[in-house]
Amino acid sequence: IDKDALDAQVKERKIQEAAEKAEHERFAHDMKKNDKLMCLLEERQKNEIKDMNRALTEFHKNFQKPETRREFDLNDPQALKKDRPARVSDDDPRCTISGMQKFMGEDLNYDQRMKFQKEQLREWFLQQQKDSKNALADQKLADDLYDKFRIELDRKIMEEQRKEEESRRAVCTATKNFNRIQAAELDHKNELEKAQKIKDDMDEITCLLRGDFLSENPDQAIGPWGKHNVLVNRWKGMNQEQRMAIREFQKEQALEKQRVREQERRRDAEWDRQRLQAARAQLLWERHQQRQNQEQRRDLDATNAGLSQEQKAKNIYLKEEEYSNIPTEEFYAQFNTTTR
């Protein structure tokens, strides 16, 4: 008997029973909680229904009284006291065609109506006469006021025209005097400008004749910031020494450029040689790496083959030696026979 296995099974069984018991207790606790919550919800629903019925009763009592219904006049106990005669007058709105209280052609208020119409016509005629008289008086007053306004307006227009004519004559006189003064000042100014222009022209001609520009002085083309800064509008060209210096400088530049090209050619050739060497070394290293990978693959295949043979031998041993005994009914009958 494997006592350790039995103890482990008993321990697992106890753990399982404890877990099931805890699960049942948790379910029982949740059921009690849900029952209590359901009771509270039912009580709350009953209270809400009771409050709703109470509010509905109050609403019917306050806003839906019997006297507000359409059919209350059929069951009103005070109907006879509130009832009116079938016809009060000829203008009673209840005297409809189906009521048979008033027929087409009957003019029951003829005398009163004719009297009222005559009185109304007389009042209208008197009012029309009064309005006509008032209109004539208003028209006459308006015509008088319009004539007075036109006369006064014409007088003001004539006065304005006279004042405008006087001001125009004064303006013309002042403008003529101002133009005369301006013409005299302009003539004097032109004479002064002409004399000044003649003087400036003579000074300029004298300066050009005596200056460095016409005399072709090479120093007059040097700028204020040094001899290398040339004033283009005064420069007459380079001398022989300056041309020779420029040619020498150009030759030096050509030699320098040729030297730089030779250095670049040598540097490119060196870079090409180094790239070829690096490519050759990379190719050799890749071939060496492939050979190593092939050797490692062969070793790994040999190792896997050996492990496979060992695994097969182990399985054959387990199948033929370890697992050859088949348990009988007596082996299974020894379990769960005690209170342990």
> DSSP for 211-244?
SHHHHT-GGGGEETTEEEEE-GGG-----HHHHH
Report yes or no: 262 and 254 within 8 Å, Cβ to Cβ.
no
Length of the chain: 340
145-181 pLDDT, tens digit per residue, is 888 888 888 888 898 888 888 888 888 888 888 888 9
Q: What is the pLDDT along the chain (340 residues), one digit of tens a residue?
A: 678 888 888 888 899 899 989 999 988 998 999 899 999 999 999 999 999 999 999 998 888 888 888 888 788 888 878 777 666 666 777 777 666 666 666 666 778 888 999 999 999 999 999 999 999 999 999 888 888 888 888 888 898 888 888 888 888 888 888 888 988 999 999 999 999 999 988 888 887 777 665 666 666 666 666 566 666 666 666 777 878 988 999 999 999 999 999 999 999 999 999 999 999 999 999 999 999 999 999 999 999 999 999 998 888 887 777 776 776 777 777 777 776 5
pLDDT at 83: 75
Q: What is the DSSP string of 13-48?
A: HHHHHHHHHHHHHHHHHHHHHHHHHHHHHHHHHHHH
The structure's pTM equals 0.24
The confidence score (pLDDT) of residue 291 equals: 92
